[in-house]
Amino acid sequence: MTKRAVILFSGGLDSTTALAIAKERGFECYTMSFNYGQRTVAELKAAKNISAHFGAKKHIEVNLDMSEIGGSALTDHSIDVPTGEAIAAEEAIPVTYVPARNTVFLSIALGWAEVLEAHHIFLGVNAVDYSGYPDCRPEFIQSFEDMANLATKAGVEGRKVHIESPLIDMTKAEIIARGIQLGVDYQTTVSCYKADDAGRACGECDSCMLRKQGFETQGFTDPTLYQ
C-alpha cells in the first residue's frame, strides 16, 4: 500500500528539508503552500519549483488572506520587520509571529490528508534555532495530533494521523547538514521575510540571520542569493 504524506511547504530551508526527509522515508508526497497575504510571494514560486524537483505527486496553493486580521509584521505592512539591533531588542515572541498560523495551516492540511487517505503530515518547525514562536514547540505538535485524531472521521475509525516534525530538535546547522546529505539545493529556497520578487534575501531579518549562522557553523558556503 502506498504511504502518502501531506507536506506543509513554504519553499524555505526548513520545509524543503522536511520534504526531502519525507521523500527519503518512502512517502508519496503531496505539498501544500499558502498564499496568506505574506510580504513576499517569491517563496510560492520556489515552493512550486522545488515540489516538482522532488517529484511531489501534487502541489496545491491555498489562498487564505491572513492580512485581513493582521497582527504580524509578515502580513501587516504598517509593522516593520525587525532587523539588526531591533531583533536583539525584542523580548518574548517577536512581531513576525503570525497569529495561529500553524494551527490554521495544519487544520487545512488535515482536511486534505483525510481526503487523500494520507496518515502523515510533515512540517518543518524547529524548537532549537528558531524565532520563539509558540506554534513551533513539541507540546503544540503533540496537542494538535491529539486533536486531529478526535476531530476526524479517519481518527475516530482508527486510521490515525501522525504529525511529523523531523527537524524539531535540530539546530539550523544540523538541518542544513541533513539537507545537503539528501541533495537539497538551498540556493533554490526562499526563507527571507523581505525577499524581493526574484527571491533574493535581505540578509538582515531574523530568518536570514539564523540561516546565515547555520551555514557558517557548518563551514559551508552560503548559497543564498542576496539583494
Q: Which domains does the chain have, with CATH numbers?
A: 4-218 (3.40.50.620)
**pLDDT at residue number 209:** 92
Is this model's pTM higher than 0.85 or not?
yes
Contact in structure between 173 and 217 (CB atoms under 8 Å): yes
pLDDT tens-digit series, residues 185-206: 999 999 999 999 999 999 999 9
CA 76: distance to chain centroid? Answer: 20
Q: How far apart are CA 126 and CA 145, in angstroms?
A: 17
**pLDDT at residue number 64:** 95
Give the DSSP H or E segment for 58.
Answer: strand 58-63
Write the CB contacts of 165 (distance below 8 Å, at least 6 apart in sequence).
18, 122, 123, 124, 125, 138, 141
The three grid cell numbers given for residue 36, joined into one nine-digit string: 496568506
Q: Of 107, 161, 122, give the one whose Cα is nearest residue 30.
A: 122
**pLDDT at residue number 140:** 96
- The phi, psi pair for 163, rounded to 5°, reads -90, 115
Q: How far apart are CA 184 and CA 224, in angstroms?
A: 13
Which stretches in the chain have pLDDT values below 70? 85-91, 130
Residue 183: left if φ>0, alpha if ψ -120 to 50, beta else—which one? left
For residue 29, give the 3-state DSSP assignment. Answer: strand
Q: Of 193, 180, 162, 181, give the one whose Cα is nearest residue 223.
A: 180
Angstrom CA distances, 47 to 11, 69, 92, stand at: 4, 25, 30
CB atoms inside a 10 Å sphere around CB 2: 9
**pLDDT at residue number 1:** 73
Contact in structure between 181 and 140 (CB atoms under 8 Å): no
- The phi, psi pair for 169, rounded to 5°, reads -105, 15
**pLDDT at residue number 141:** 97
